[in-house]
Amino acid sequence: MPSPSDLPLHDALVAAGARFAERRGQPVAASYGDTSGEYAAAREAAALVDLPLRAVLEASGPQRQKFLQGMLSHDVAERQPGQGCHAALMNAKGGVQALLRVLVDKDVVLLETDFDRIGRLQGTLEHHRVAAPVRFAARPTSVLALLGPGAARVLSAAGIDSPPASPEAHQVVAIAGHPLRLVRAGDLPGGGFVLHAAPEGAAAAWEALRTAGARPAGHDALDALRVEALRPWYGSDVTEDNLLHETGLVAECHSPAKGCYVGQEVVARLEARGGNVSRALRGLRLSAPAAAGAAVSVEGREVGRVTTAAVSPRLGPIALAYVHRGHFAPGTAVEVDGAPATVVTSFEERAASENGAAEPARERDREDLHEDRRPR
């Protein structure tokens, strides 16, 4: 396994107090010693996360958009420079080979995906291009995430007053004297931005964003936020064994108006059947912490598997899991490694109801307190 010292941002992460752990065989900053505070920053202010599991493939050549239109699940051909979308690369049976952020620029199309998908992505595209004048090359890139309601304020303090507004819109900006690509990222929990930096400029951008008010946050907090938002990521929650409909990402990654692409027949057939699949990704409220890979069962019979598990400072133990269609409904009681759990389709509904129930209780407590203080 690579060492944390191999990370382009290693020294900057260590200076911020990073505690490293492994994700998918690669080192990441899991926390900076205060996961609850990092989580709170992402929900209430601005958090800065290093994403070393992300990488970028560059597509060039005069027919790059036309070619990608026939390969990817979303509409690429009509995108103008500065626009983008999310898309999936699938095989002929509909299995998801990669999830992509597609960014159209003047002379290239940038495909941001997972580091361990770059080789598969490039190989598959080159296999299908035949004689099309399209070329592919990995672009060395450090990917950072800036998330939270205060992200725009941080960017303003760093000298960027008009960040891209629409999902996956992007522009080249300068931070600490280094050019970066700033993207409005739809796949971050709670919304925010990703920044593509050349590895030699990433540390300067990181420090400038910290100085502007962003708090470093690790992947433990990020996982909790992702699970709360029911946001699957490739490798953790999506693999080649999954159909796009199982992931809940069809509306985001698929254009029903476009023509043929690899895997389109499977998507169209499922759409015609109302999107019915035998398993699908759901959230789980847990009674005890669990781990990825834990069995989800009902009456001793396995009905699913956990893909990402986390402990939310706000909600306690939670998880994402694929469950059988007989257990899709919110409120369904299941077990995870023998401990009680509940299926949810939104963690926020439950949190809102709990907060709503707590408010009258607090009001009653105040009334009781006033009653006790009245003179007898």
3-state secondary structure the chain: CCCHHHCCCHHHHHHCCCEEEEECCEEEEEECCCHHHHHHHHHHCCEEEECCCEEEEEEECCCHHHHHHCCECCCCCCCCCCCEEEEEEECCCCEEEEEEEEEECCCEEEEEEEHHHHHHHHHHHHHHHCCCCCEEEEECCEEEEEECCCHHHHHHHCCCCCCCCCCCCEEEEEECCEEEEEEECCCCCCCEEEEEECHHHHHHHHHHHHHCCCEECCHHHHHHHHHHCCCCCECCCECCCCEHHHHCCHHHHCCCCCCCCCCHHHHHHHHHCCCCCCEEEEEEEECCCCCCCCEEEECCEEEEEEEEEEEECCCEEEEEEEEEHHHCCCCCEEEECCEEEEEECCHHHHHHHHHHHHHHHHHHHHHHHHHHHCCC
pLDDT score, position 130: 87
pLDDT score, position 357: 42
Read off the pTM. Answer: 0.91
Q: Decide if 230 contacts 321 (C-beta within 8 A).
A: no
Sign of CA dihedral 37, 31, 148, 282: negative
pLDDT score, position 259: 84
What token pair was written down for 19? Answer: 């505690």
pLDDT score, position 359: 43
pLDDT score, position 1: 67
pLDDT score, position 374: 35
Sign of CA dihedral 242, 244, 246, 247: positive
**Residues contacting residue 337 through CB under 8 Å, at least 6 positions apart:** 288, 290, 294, 295
Q: Give the other-Cβ count within 10 Å of 199's Cβ.
A: 12
pLDDT score, position 365: 37
Amino acid at the residue 228:
E
Q: What is the mean pLDDT of each run of 10 residues along the chain (376 residues)?
A: 91 98 96 98 98 98 96 96 98 97 98 96 94 94 98 97 96 97 95 96 97 98 98 96 97 92 95 94 98 97 98 97 96 97 88 48 37 35
pLDDT score, position 354: 52
